[in-house]
Every structure is written in structure tokens, then in C-alpha cells.
Structure 1
Amino acid sequence: MVAKVFIDGEAGTTGLQIRQRLEGRRDIELLSIDPDRRKDPAARAEIINSADAVILCLPDDAAREAVSLVTNPAVKIIDASTAHRVADGWAYGFAELDKGQRDAIAKSTRIANPGCYATGAIALLRPLVGAGLVPADWPIFVNGISGYSGGGKSLIAEFERPAPEGTSDAFRPYGLTMAHKHLPEIREYAGLAEAPLFTPSVGRFAQGMIIEVPLHLHRLPGKPGVVDLEHAYAAHYDGEAFIEVLSPRDAAVLKEARAGAAGYQELIDPESLNGTNRLRILVVGNERNGQAVAMAVLDNLGKGASGAAVQNLNLALGVDEAAGL
């Protein structure tokens, strides 16, 4: 059976990458709306309700409007905006969240695609909270840096134009109001009692990202070691195709290579997984000082956006989860 799929907002950065991942698949028929009618509610409603699945790559308000146009109860909606990530009746589209999440996604007609930073932060925090290594009410700090493509067309243009029209910034912190749009989903799906202190930034590279969660291990109730964190990640993501967890043996190799060997630097290069739907987790630490940093590397437009959307689409359609990935 060929599934009809409509990407609403296919001209944007995420929409374009989703389309590229779906083009050429024999099990998918991509629907397109006449460009002259893409803002016509009647035309949009017609194509949305004729599809088996719709992927929304729109601003929040436009995504809510698109959902309001659905009258066909069989249409599956995958929303890449922030609008529905903690909304009732929506399955959170991070299949690796826990063992029952794939089934929840597959059975739902409303799927909220996670945010890019949220994907990395939740991937790092959920296993530690679930294993009891980090209490739900523990004060958590999350740091991250992303490629400028995550900021959309305006930020892409700013970084890709030469100064003075553009910017020469190499690094730019943002979200300084401590109210980043990914915070509600991080708190909800990491299992935290309150939102973490989150300090995102953008760097002078187009794609890719790295998220870090620093921890004072000796202050945690159980005083876990670096290996305990690694074991928690390995157990949580056992058998996952898209999440790579470095084993304790890998960590030992990293400790020997900490002086700056190329292999170690490659593992924490924020661009190293670009073009993939993969996410890499590794832990570095100092047992003597009781300190560690858990890190997640992923493509902000891959596992953090278009790759995750295709993975969720595959689950929703009941086909091979890795198709097109």
C-alpha cells in the first residue's frame, strides 16, 4: 500500500530535509499544494484530509490552525512545531523515551515531534532519573550549542551573509530570559519536578549540536560514579538502532586520549553526526573530584527534526522504522 503524505511547510529548512528523505520511496506518495493556494484554508483542508499522514513544519499558530482543519479522523498528524509537545492527546515523538513509547506513537493520530535541544537533554536525563541516580527534584543544568540552521531562515541569512550586512559572531548565547520554548517538554519527559537551568547558544556552523549535563556526582544521594551513569544509559538504550552509547571500555579509551587525540575530538564534534538520525551519548568525568559531564551529539536537523519526523511517520504508518533513514 502506498501512503499519501503531505508536508505542510515543505519550503522551510525542516520541510525540505523531510522531503529529501521521503523522495524516491515507493511506499510514499508525496502530495503538494498549488503554491498560489497554499494560504487558502479550503485548499489546505482538502489536501490535509485527503492524506494518510500530514507533517506540519510551521510556526506554532499556523500548526494549530492546520490541526483545526482536520475532519478526517484517520489522518495522522506529525507536528514539528512547539505547539503540541506537552498537549493532552498528543504522543511525544521520541521513540526511545521508554519501552512503551513506540507503541504510543504507532497508535496515535496526533504525534508531536520533539525539539532538537529537548531530544538531547531528555536522552541524557530520562535514564538517570528513571534509574534513581538523579532525583526528580534535583537542580539540573543543561548547556548546549547548535548550528545556526536551527534558527530558521533569518538566522541562516545573518550567519551566511558577510559583515556588515550579516554577522561575524563565532559564538552567541541566547535564551537569556530563561524561558526557552523547549523547557516544558524537557521538564515533562525527562521526569523532572521543575525545568532545568538551560543555557543554549549558536555557533558558526550550519548543522549539528552538542548538549551537556554537568553533575556533581559526590553530592547526589547515591554518590554514583561515571560507570554507573554509563550503565544506566546502556541499559536504557539497549538494542536501539539510532542511539549510540559509549561503553565503559570506550570511556577508558577516552580517558587515555583526553590529551586531544583526534578520535576523542571527533566523538564530541557537534557536526560529526550530520545527515543522520543518530544520537551519540558519552560521559566524561573525574572520579577523584566527583564530577562528570554527560554529553549528547546529534544533528539538529536530523534526529533533532527531519530524521525524527520520518522515524515517527514510519511508526505511524506501520512500516520499517528505519525506512529512509
Structure 2
Amino acid sequence: MTHTIFIDGEAGTTGLEIRERLEARADLELILLGDRRRDPAARREALNAADAVILCLPDDAAIEAVGMIDNATTRVIDASTAFRVADGWTYGFAEMDVGQGAAIAGSTRVSNPGCYPTGFIGLMRPLVKAGIVPADRFVTVNAVSGYSGGGKSMIAEFEAGGAPAFRAYGLTQHHKHVPEMTRHTGLSHDVMFAPAVGAYRQGMLVEVPLHLASLPGSPSIEVIHGALAEHYAGSRFVEVADLETTEALTGIDPEGLNGTNRMRLHVFGDRSGSQARLVALLDNLGKGASGAAVQNLNLMLGLPEDTGLT
């Protein structure tokens, strides 16, 4: 059976990546509008004709597109921030919890996670759920991404050679990712998010520092690692590096998983000490965007989860 797919916003960075991942597949047929993609009537027709729609649009345009769908059968994956904490939408991080993949498969409305939140939630949700990090704890997350995550204007700026090697941003602490990062980890206080962008195209590191002595029972590095390893045991796309591998590292390349839909989690720290650095490595355009969208699409269409992703 061939499924019809419409990517609304295929000219953007995420849309282009998704199209590239889908167009070679024999089990899918893409609805392409070409020069008519800005025609409201053509968009409405495509939105309602497709078996599944992937929205790669700004928030307001995504909300508008959803409003144009007037049937109950079209499945929607939205890559904007518009619905990531909205009622009636399923959060599209399949590894987030037991049963999340099944929830995605049974949903007609899925919000694709943000790239930074994927790393942060991947690190923190298992620890909060296990009670290792209390839900009322104030948590900080530091992260750096390649410039492709900033959209066309940032890409043009960096590729023109006029941008700095490293830029901290989101300095007002009102970043759009904070609500989903807080809700989907189960934390009760907004996380303190310190994002940055580097002078490379794609790939990212998301880091959470923990003072273990401030947590109930002063958990060891081994306890933290064990909780993450247990949570992701058997996962196709999320792996937890063993402590020996992590201890042998002298650094992490943020581009290390580029071109994949994988995410690797590390627990750094002195095993006899009282501090830990939790680090997630992923491709901001892979597991952080287009790869996750394809994974969610596969689940929603009843296809093997890793189709087109290995």
C-alpha cells in the first residue's frame, strides 16, 4: 500500500531534509505543489487529500494549516512549537516513556519535539520519573547547536563568514522551548535554559549539570547511569554510553551523529565525587527534527519504526 504525504513548508531547512528522506521510498507518494505552494486553495486541497501531512512552518502558519483540514482521517505531524504543550496533541518523542510510541501510532495529531528539548527530556525525564531528581528541583540546561537550527537568515549569516565562532542567545530567559522542556520532564519549575550556536552547520550537545550531593540520597554516578540505561534498554535510536567509554573521552564532537536519527547519552563525573555532567549528543536536523518526523510518520502509518532511517 502506498501512502500519500504532503510536506507543507518543504522549502525550509527541516522540510527539505524530510523530503530528502522520503522521496526515495517506494511506499510513499509525495504531493508536490511546486509553484502553487503559496496558493491557499491548492494547499487546502493537498492538506485534505494526503494520508499524512508534515507541517514545517512558523507557529501561526501551522495553526492556520491545521484549521484548513476539514476531515477526520488526515494525520498531522507539526514541527513548529505551536502544539507541543497543547491538549489533544501527542508529543512525538517515542522513547520518552513506555507506551509513547503506541500513543503516537494511535494519534492523528502529533507535535514533533524541538531539538534542544529532545536532548534535555532524554536526559532528565527518566531521572525525574525514577525520583532521583525531585520534580520540584530547579534545573539548568546548557546547549550548543549548529547554525542550521536558526533558519535561513542565520544560515546565510554564518555561511557568509560574518558571524562569530560562538554566540550565546536566549539571554532574556524567555526561550520558546522552555514550556515543553519543563512539562515533558515532569518538572514543576521552569528550567533555566542557556542555548548557544556555533560556527558549524549541524549537530548539537545538550548538557545538564547536577550536584549529586544536593539530591535525595546523594545518588552516585552509577545510579544515574543505571536509571538512564534501564529506561532506554532496547531502544533503536537512543543509546546510553557505558561509563568506561565515557571516562575514556577527553571531549565530545557535536557533529558526531550527523546524518543519523540517533541520540547518545553520556554521564560524566568522578565516580567518587559529588558532581555529574549529563550530556546528550544528537543531530539537530536528525533526531532533533527531520529524523524524528520520519520516525513519527512511520509509527502513525503502521510501518516499521526505522523505515528510511537506518
TM-score, length basis structure 2? 0.98
**SS at structure 1 position matched to 2:305:** coil
**Residues 8 and 222 of structure 1: CA distance in aligned 2, closer, same or farther (over 3 Å):** same
**SS at structure 2 position matched to 1:119:** helix
Deviation at 1:252, TM superposition (A): 2.7
What are the Cα deviations for residues 42-96 of structure 1, in whole angstroms up to 9, with x where unaligned?
2111111000000000000000000000012100000000000000100000000
**Residues 228 and 50 of structure 1: CA distance in aligned 2, closer, same or farther (over 3 Å):** same
Could you say which residue in structure 2 is the equivalent of 1:297?
A: 281
Hey, what's the Cα distance between the residues in 1 that align with 2:23 and 2:33? 16
Could you say which residue in structure 2 is the equivalent of 1:13?
A: 13
Deviation at 1:41, TM superposition (A): 1.8
**Residues 308 and 254 of structure 1: CA distance in aligned 2, closer, same or farther (over 3 Å):** closer
Hey, what's the Cα distance between the residues in 1 that align with 2:299 and 2:184? 19
What RMSD over aligned residues (CA atoms) do the two structures have, in Å? 1.0
**SS at structure 2 position matched to 1:227:** helix
- Partner amino acid, structure 1, of 2:235: E
What are the Cα deviations for residues 151-189 of structure 1, in whole angstroms up to 9, with x where unaligned?
000000000003xxx32x010000001011111001110
- Partner amino acid, structure 2, of 1:79: D
**SS at structure 2 position matched to 1:104:** helix
Aligned runs of 1:262-301 on 2, under 5 Å?
265=251, 268-301=252-285
Hey, what's the Cα distance between the residues in 2 that align with 1:21 and 1:222? 46
Could you say which residue in structure 2 is the equivalent of 1:118?
A: 117
Aligned runs of 1:19-38 on 2, under 5 Å?
19-35=19-35, 37-38=36-37
Hey, what's the Cα distance between the residues in 1 that align with 2:261 and 2:38? 31
Hey, what's the Cα distance between the residues in 1 that align with 2:239 and 2:245? 16
Deviation at 1:129, TM superposition (A): 0.3
Could you say which residue in structure 2 is the equivalent of 1:211?
A: 206
Residue correspondences, number: 309
Aligned runs of 1:1-325 on 2, under 5 Å?
1-35=1-35, 37-162=36-161, 166-167=162-163, 169-247=164-242, 251-255=243-247, 257-258=248-249, 260=250, 265=251, 268-325=252-309
- Partner amino acid, structure 2, of 1:9: G
TM-score, length basis structure 1? 0.93
Deviation at 1:253, TM superposition (A): 4.3
Deviation at 1:288, TM superposition (A): 3.9
What are the Cα deviations for residues 121-160 of structure 1, in whole angstroms up to 9, with x where unaligned?
0000001001110000111010000000000000000000
- In structure 2, runs of 5+ residues without a counterpart are none
- Partner amino acid, structure 2, of 1:252: E
Q: Which runs of 4+ in 1 moved over 6 A?
A: none
**SS at structure 2 position matched to 1:286:** coil
**SS at structure 2 position matched to 1:282:** strand
**SS at structure 2 position matched to 1:179:** coil
